[in-house]
Amino acid sequence: MSAVMTIEELRNGLAWRKNLDKAFVVAGLLILMSCLGLLALLFVDLVRDGAARFGWDFLTQFPSRKAERAGILSAWVGTSMIMLVTAVVALPVGVAAAIYLEEYAPKNWFTGVIEINVTNLAGVPSIVYGLLALGLFVYKFGFGQSVLSAGLTLALLILPIIIVGTREALRAVPKAIREAAYGLGATRWEVTKDHVLPYSTGGILTGLILGLSRAIGETAPIITIGALSFIAFLPDPPISGAFPFVNFAWLKSEFTAMPIQIFNWISRPDQAFQQNAAAAAAILLAMTLAMNAVAIWIRYRFRKKINW
Amino acid sequence: MNTNVVHKAESPRLAIALEERRALRANQAKAIAEKLDFWYGTNQALKNINLVIPENQVTALIGPSGCGKSTFLRCFNRMHDLQADTRYSGSIVLHPESVNLVGKEVDPIEVRMRIGMVFQKPNPFPKTVFENVAYGLRLRGFSNRTDLAERVEKALRGAAIWDEVKDRLSDSALALSGGQMQRLCIARALATEPEILLFDEPTSALDPIATAKIEELITELRQRVTILIVTHNMQQAARVSDFTAFMYLGELVEVDATSKIFTNPSKKATEDYITGRYG
């Protein structure tokens, strides 16, 4: 035999290497399962603790001093409105920033500094954003302790996530497609608006939703800017039946949000409020999971349509 | 002294001049590259290229990988301008207006609107077949539905793909086969009636049958448009082109009628390449 080893040696070595391969699969699955298992356990635990409180009333009642009559109406409405402001502000700003950095910015030290800072912003503790917002939005700009201030704060918080996600999505558009468009005489803006942006919509929306699902659970910054824990009224609805059909009074309204409500209930000694907290936490978790599910669905839809 | 004289007689410049005269006699020159140099940063990729592109003829660029043939092709529609730190000197003059395509004062977008390009890998937009072909027209401000439809049909017919896609105009272009996609890309380039059509190894990603269709198409197209094609495949150059230019290490070694290059090249390097001794 002319090979460097006998056939037995070869087989033994191969068996060992294949075992290593299997060991990695087992280890990976184990780690994955324990992570998912923990989350599932947490969710089940919350649902069990809060089981008594689930129901229509819980969603449609304002907070109350009596645990059994307290609901999360003002909390989930507040959270939804804040998320709306956050999305409306963070999406265009984040996408525009990403387009500039990816498609327009020359590669020099200045853009290098900007890029490093954008990445670093994602790691800034959220309480710092809260302090910034308190000084800037609440006092300096005079937006007060309002839905608008909270939405802007969380928009700042998730901006780095959206920028990074959008840049990934833009970069995924093949160079060949850009060249095809440039080759027909398109300007940089036409290439971006007619091709790069439409083809990366899936990735951009995914980034937005991942950012929003980070924002929905943030507590520290909105406590800092002064979210209230007891609100027994709803702001004016943003859409009305009469002309001009939209109003913006809700932006200036005081607010509470899901995490604030949970935090408030959990810090009370009364056991009954603990149940409320568990139920609200389960609903918040479900909202987050639903948002992520939408992100996955969008990504799947766009992948199916555009397959390079 | 004597060797010097011989050397001078064989200098590329003179050979081009002869070729130039020959080409001009047979056809009008559509474009003339003169003393063209090109740099990626400090790396000079093209050195003193002189070449006449005769109107309504197919000119093939051959040579081993890295010889600069694609770089040269991409000078014609200023694709290099999309990259930072690239530089041209010399000229590629487009006739009849005598515009210098690589001149700093000439807008690269204007150049790309006049000179079409078909790429190595079929790169249709992930839009409908119709919108792919209509895109160049839309950029130019065409928006009348019937006018667009007429021009799209004409382009698709010109690219010999109309019969295959006429019932699928609103399907995604990505549903087509590789060869169909490449002909769609040719139609997309043809729709705006370019003055020169550049082909950058258009069949290297295709199977032999799709390749044969593209080659047939190129032969037909030369009646209407001036064609410049880069190819790795020497048989392809021999089959489709009227003139062939051999490039090596960023220089143009020899250019002549295709039949002459492939039967009786005047340079040793050309002969070595086409007989498969390297590259």
Which residues of A fall within a CB distance of 8 Å from B139? 184-186, 190
Q: Are A149 and A143 in contact (CB under 8 A)?
A: yes
Residue A107 contacts B, CB cutoff 8 Å: yes
Q: At what angle do helices A73-99 and A258-266 cross, to 10 degrees?
A: 130
Rounded mean pLDDT, A10-19? 93
pLDDT band, residue A69 (cuts 50/70/90): confident
Residues pairing with B93 in the sheet:
B32, B100
Is the complex ipTM more than 0.85? yes
Q: Is B126 on the interface with A (CB under 8 A)?
A: yes
Question: β-strands B226-230, B196-200: how paired?
Answer: parallel
Picking from A179, A186, A187, the nearest residue to B123 by CB comes out as A179
Is the pLDDT at A306 greater than 80? The verdict is: no
Quick check: A146 and A255 in contact, CB under 8 A? yes
Of A227 and B25, the structure prediction assigns the larger pLDDT to A227
Q: What percent of chain A has pLDDT over 90?
A: 42
Would you call B79 an interface residue with chain A, using a CB distance cutoff of 8 Å?
Answer: yes
Contacts of the segment A48-52: beta carbons below 8 A, 24+ positions apart? A48/A278, A49/A274, A49/A275, A49/A278, A49/A279, A50/A275, A50/A276, A50/A277, A50/A278, A50/A279, A50/A280, A50/A281, A50/A282, A51/A279, A52/A275, A52/A279
A212, A291 Cβ separation under 8 angstroms: yes
Mark which residues 191-210 of A lie under 8 Å from B by CB.
Answer: 194-195, 199
- Chain B residue whose CA is closest to A187: B109
b/e code A45-58 from CB counts within 10 Å (16+ = b): ebbebbeebeeeeb
Domains in chain B, please, with CATH? 56-84+105-274 (3.40.50.300)
- Whether residue B228 contacts residue B59, with contact meaning beta carbons closer than 8 Å, is answered with yes
- The residue in chain B having the minimum alpha-carbon distance to the alpha carbon of residue A196 is B125
- Please answer yes or no on whether B185 and A180 come within 8 Å at the CB atom: yes
The whole-angstrom separation of Cα A63 and Cα A229 is 9
Question: Average of pLDDT values for B223-234?
Answer: 92
For the record, the structure tokens of A29 come out as 């699955």
And the tokens for A222?
Answer: 């909105």
Mean pLDDT score, A20-36: 96
Q: How far is A183 from chain B (nearest CA, A)?
A: 6
pLDDT at B79: 95
- Residue A240 clears pLDDT 70, i.e. is over it: no
Is the distance from CB of A176 to CB of A308 less than 8 angstroms?
Answer: no
In whole angstroms, what is the distance from residue A289 CA to residue A47 CA?
15
> Are A194 and B117 in contact (CB < 8 Å)?
no
Mean pLDDT of A224-252: 72
* A122 or B81, greater pLDDT: B81
- pLDDT for the residue numbered A231: 73
Quote the mean pLDDT of chain B: 88
* pLDDT the model gives residue A239: 67
Determine which of A104, A184, A190 to mutate to test the interface with B (most B C-beta atoms within 10 Å). Answer: A184
Assess whether pLDDT exceeds 80 at residue A260.
yes
Distance, CA of A97 to CA of A116 (rounded, Å): 14
A34-47 pLDDT per residue, tens: 999 999 999 999 98
Q: How much is the pLDDT for A4?
A: 84
With beta carbons under 8 A apart, name residues in chain A contacting B110: 185
Per-residue tokens: B222: 């030369």
Q: Does B279 score more than 80 pLDDT? A: no
Indicate the residue of A176, A182, A199 with minimum beta-carbon distance to B82: A182
User: Which of B114, B135, B185 to probe the A interface (max A CBs under 10 A)?
Assistant: B135
A176: which chain B residues are within 8 Å (Cβ-Cβ)? 119, 121, 123
Higher pLDDT among residues B84 and B7, named by residue: B84
Mean pLDDT of A123-136: 90
Judged by average pLDDT, the poorest of B26-35, B90-99, B136-145, B239-248 is B26-35
Per residue in B10-20, pLDDT tens? Answer: 444 445 555 55
Does A107 contact B84 at a Cβ distance shorter than 8 Å? yes
pLDDT of residue A61: 81
Would you state the structure tokens that stand for residue A193, as one six-digit string? 């608006």
The helix (H) or strand (E) run that includes residue B90 is strand B86-94
Give the residue with greater pLDDT, B76 vs A248. Answer: B76
